[in-house]
Amino acid sequence: MNEAMQEKERGRGGGARNFEPIRPVMGIIPCLNEADHIEKIIDRLRVSADRLGMTLVVVDGGSTDGTRGIVERVALLNPRVRLLPNEKRIQSAAINLAVRELGGGFGSFIRIDAHGDYPAAYCDRLIEEAESTDADSVVVAMDTQGIGIFQKAAAAAQNSRIGNGGAVHRSGTKGHWVDHGHHALMRIAAFEAVGGYDESFSHNEDAELDYRLRAAGYRIWLTDKTSMIYYPRASVTALFRQYLSYGRGRARNSLKHRVRPKVRQMLPLVVFPVVAGASLALLNWVALVPAGVWAAACLGYGAWMAVRQRNPYGPLAGFAAMVMHLAWSAGFWLQMLSFRSGRMRE
């Protein structure tokens, strides 16, 4: 058995397997107030949709910026474009709704982020990978890019080890079987078999679903044949709020499935406690040391990026990493504390 076949066999799960056809494919675009991006992303996918016979379903969470009007206008000119209203607003509910309402005639769906960007052959490569590996889900690496100054700094942080902890779907690697990755293509049979996304998760719903997929014996393939471009939050406040929600989502996932965070996730968990502990410096200045070491490590890494990688956004990237660490850690512990408080009240 050659190496490729051995790798394929190692990815096989022990649960029920579905060999439903990949095609036809439905593209699902959850969105909320994406008037600046939605027409561009539909146009980017138009040629491949025509070539692949793919329907594009925009699931709008109640936009107030004219997004719905743009999609309605595009749909009049392009019969492959559909619009669904998503009263629950969040992405997990959007995907579930599209699969429930329209998924019966499709073999798989491709999840598209309205605020991202994609290569011209993105959908083609995903379908080819699913068919060649027989995977139930194909996930992709993310290349984070920015436009404004802080967004470029946040992108540099998220593309670095200090910002992503070495996550393979952030840094990219040779194609292989994984436990989790950025969601791209998924067989509808596998998606429905495990119950779809948990709509109580506003964030981290992808990792939570991947846990159930793997537990049920389904297989997730991280492709190296294509990737997506992601644009991070453009302000400190927006980035903090996003990572606060990510931290809460990770905690909820850990509580639901009784799983420990990975080592790369456990390291940032100490950030919120050491920052909170710095308030004890009023009693003893030594309390500042742990927080100082963390801050120096982040800013030092940013300085290293500026010098070794010649990245002018390096120093600000170190600060962006601090924002992400603190928010993620705070969200995780606040969720844990709220869970314990709820249990105590019960």
Structure token digits, residue 270? 């100490």
Task: Please enumerate in sequence order all residues whose Cβ is within 8 A of that of 316, keeping only pairs 6 or more positions apart, or say none.
Answer: 149, 150, 153, 302
Question: Residue 2: its pLDDT value, please?
Answer: 38
Question: Residue 330: its pLDDT value, please?
Answer: 97
Contact by Cβ (8 Å): 330, 272: yes
Number of Cβ atoms within 10 Å of the Cβ of 257: 12
Task: Please enumerate in sequence order all residues whose Cβ is within 8 A of that of 35, keeping only pairs 6 or more positions apart, or say none.
Answer: 63, 65, 66, 67, 70
What pTM does this model have? Answer: 0.86
Closest by CA position to 60, among listed 97, 100, 80, 30: 30
Question: Residue 259: its pLDDT value, please?
Answer: 84
Task: Please enumerate in sequence order all residues whose Cβ is within 8 A of that of 42, keeping only pairs 6 or more positions apart, or say none.
Answer: 29, 56, 58, 71, 74, 78, 81
Q: Which residues on neighbouring strands pair with residue 140, listed in sequence order?
A: 182
Domain boundaries, the chain: 3-232, 240-338
Please give the class, per CATH, of domain 3-232. alpha beta
Residues of the chain below pLDDT 50: 1-16, 18, 344-346
Question: Residue 166: its pLDDT value, please?
Answer: 64
Closest by CA position to 80, among listed 88, 89, 71: 71
Nearest 10 degrees: CA dihedral of 11, 12, 15, 18? 110
